């Protein structure tokens, strides 16, 4: 059977390492003095059972630390309950995004009354007070040591907010010094709870609650200077079906395009629902940015025509390589009139396929911006094999590509005292399929030319998201935090 050339990116990595000085080709800017933390799945089977979907694999943390032009590296599995139980019993024990454990009839009855959902935090990295945490879409983050990557236990919120589903893509408001996120609470009357949390506490405060009969699957949301933007795509679930079907989480959701997208605009300060409007149907994982302009709320999302992208990311499909893969969306801008009407217009900002969008978050989140960075494809039908940069003002595109190489999310890091929006570097973990190893790529964000690469002695499975944080061995700074 034909196998994809990038299959290695969906193969289990068992090795855990700590390397003080990676081999470097090129010159690492000496002003890089922080740490890039990455998160993603790295174990795709336990015992005789394999996970079904890319989103299901057990989480591994990766750390690239910069000092004086040198780069150190470490990787370690996140010891969530999902991971610990799987290792102890030699089988998958909790429901993941699209995988259910193998159960005996008696266990199925017990699972009906006492369901065990995942706490496998494989999606993103954030900073809560003095803690660095890993997150996923279940609402339990995990703390870890930023130097050793040792799991320190579950993060304890200091409040009584309740929810069954959350987002790993919290926003951070640098003026208010507060995180913003949401919880979905299933029930007879399901509700979205939007909340804020001060940077130096673990106490969330409810901003607003919105009732919903059939909740939508939402991976992220938008934030402007004054508003939170909750985007309900028409991939929805009947909570009773989710509770009683026995199917993996995402298999209970149904695509109902006639619903369109519902945008809910909520005032950060008062919690008032300022607007609820409807647009044409799209699906998306990632909001790129949102801002206010001329009486409108502008929301930029990487969109797909429908939710079929989820099916494309099953592991058997990704590993086979026997069918072309079209697993990228297009950057779409929605404009919501905040006056009396219910107008929503949309336009495609670029025909260049991309996803995993990043911007200069510190300076432009919630505000107008010019540049966006993402992964794309050089060879049609291939998995993500290039990095792209879109200039939304000049309508230009730059890219980086090397045969046999598959880059991950591009993380923008601004240069000290940068005077231009793209003055800085791009950091991306790249799998070299021909060498069967990965490297950290450093690009100039302005020219998109390679500055350096730091070679890792093993292949790193394709991950999802991460953050670059400054501070060395001391308190890590919020300065470069991203959603």
**Interatomic CA distance for residues 336 and 95, integer angstroms:** 38
| β-sheet bridge partners, residue 386 | 376, 401
Residue 478 confidence (pLDDT): 52
CATH (one of 1.10.1740, 2.60.40, 3.40.50, 2.130.10) for 7-470: 2.130.10
* Token duo for residue 429: 């973990």
| β-sheet bridge partners, residue 229 | 222, 265
pTM of the model: 0.94
Which residues, including other chains, have CB under 8 Å from residue 65's CB and lie 6 or more apart?
A: 34, 35, 36, 71, 72, 73, 472
Q: What angle do CA 24, 28, 32 make, to 5 degrees?
A: 130
- How many Cβ atoms sit within 10 Å of the Cβ of residue 283? 23
Nearest to 169 by CA among 476, 471, 466, 430: 466
Point out the residues of the chain with pLDDT beneath 50. Answer: 1, 104-107, 109-110, 112-114, 472-475
Residue 4 confidence (pLDDT): 80
Residue 382 confidence (pLDDT): 87
pLDDT tens-place string over residues 376-411: 999 888 899 999 999 999 889 999 999 999 999 999
| β-sheet bridge partners, residue 178 | 173, 198
Residue 471 confidence (pLDDT): 67
**Interatomic CA distance for residues 134 and 127, integer angstroms:** 9
Residue 247 confidence (pLDDT): 87
Residue 480 confidence (pLDDT): 53
Q: Which string of b and e fits 208-219 if b means at least 16 CB within 10 Å?
A: bbbebebbbbbb
Domain parsing of the chain, residue ranges? 7-470
**Interatomic CA distance for residues 146 and 107, integer angstroms:** 38
Residue 432 confidence (pLDDT): 98
Residue 474 confidence (pLDDT): 40
* Token duo for residue 374: 């993402």
Query: Which residue's entry shows tokens 């395009």?
Result: 257
């Amino acid at each position: 059977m034909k196998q994809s050339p990038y299959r290695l990116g969906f193969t289990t990595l068992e090795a855990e390492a700590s390397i003080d000085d990676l081999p470097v080709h090129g010159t690492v800017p000496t002003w890089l003095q922080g740490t890039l933390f990455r998160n993603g799945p790295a174990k795709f089977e336990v015992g005789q059972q394999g996970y079904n979907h890319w989103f299901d694999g057990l989480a591994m943390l990766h750390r690239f630390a910069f000092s004086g032009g040198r780069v150190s590296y470490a990787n370690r599995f996140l010891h969530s309950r999902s991971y610990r139980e799987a290792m102890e019993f030699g089988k998958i024990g909790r429901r993941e995004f699209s995988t259910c454990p193998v159960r005996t009839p008696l266990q199925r009855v017990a699972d009906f009354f006492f369901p065990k959902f995942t706490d496998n935090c494989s999606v993103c990295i954030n900073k809560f007070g003095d803690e660095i945490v890993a997150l996923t879409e279940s609402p339990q983050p995990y703390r870890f040591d930023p130097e050793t990557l040792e799991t320190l236990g579950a993060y304890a919120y200091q409040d009584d907010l309740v929810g069954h589903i959350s987002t790993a893509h919290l926003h951070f408001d640098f003026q208010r010094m507060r995180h913003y996120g949401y919880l979905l609470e299933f029930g007879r009357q399901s509700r979205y709870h939007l909340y804020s949390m001060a940077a130096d506490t673990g106490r969330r405060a409810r901003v607003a609650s919105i009732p919903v009969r059939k909740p939508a699957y939402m991976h992220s949301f938008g934030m402007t200077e004054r508003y939170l933007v909750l985007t309900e795509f028409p991939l929805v679930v009947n909570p009773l079906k989710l509770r009683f079907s026995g199917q993996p989480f995402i298999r209970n959701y149904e695509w109902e395009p006639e619903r369109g997208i519902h945008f809910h605009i909520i005032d950060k300060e008062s919690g008032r629902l300022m607007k609820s409007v409807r647009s044409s149907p799209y699906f998306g994982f990632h909001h790129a940015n949102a801002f206010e302009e001329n009486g409108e709320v502008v929301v930029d999302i990487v969109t797909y025509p429908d939710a079929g992208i989820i099916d494309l990311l099953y592991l058997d499909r990704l590993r086979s390589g026997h069918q072309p893969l079209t697993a990228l969306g297009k950057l779409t801008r929605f404009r919501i009139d905040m006056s009396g009407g219910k107008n929503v217009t949309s336009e495609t900002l670029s025909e260049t396929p991309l996803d995993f969008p990043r911007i200069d978050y510190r300076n432009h989140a919630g505000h107008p911006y010019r540049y966006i960075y993402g992964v794309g494809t050089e060879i049609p039908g291939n998995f993500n094999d290039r990095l792209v940069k879109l200039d939304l003002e000049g309508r230009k595109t730059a890219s980086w590509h090397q045969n046999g190489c598959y880059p991950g999310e591009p993380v923008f890091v601004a240069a000290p005292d940068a005077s231009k929006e793209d003055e800085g570097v791009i950091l991306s973990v790249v799998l070299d399929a021909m060498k069967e190893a990965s490297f950290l790529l450093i690009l100039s964000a302005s020219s998109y030319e390679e500055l350096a690469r730091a070679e890792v002695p093993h292949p790193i499975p394709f991950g999802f998201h991460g953050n670059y944080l400054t501070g060395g061995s001391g308190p890590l700074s919020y300065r470069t935090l991203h959603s």
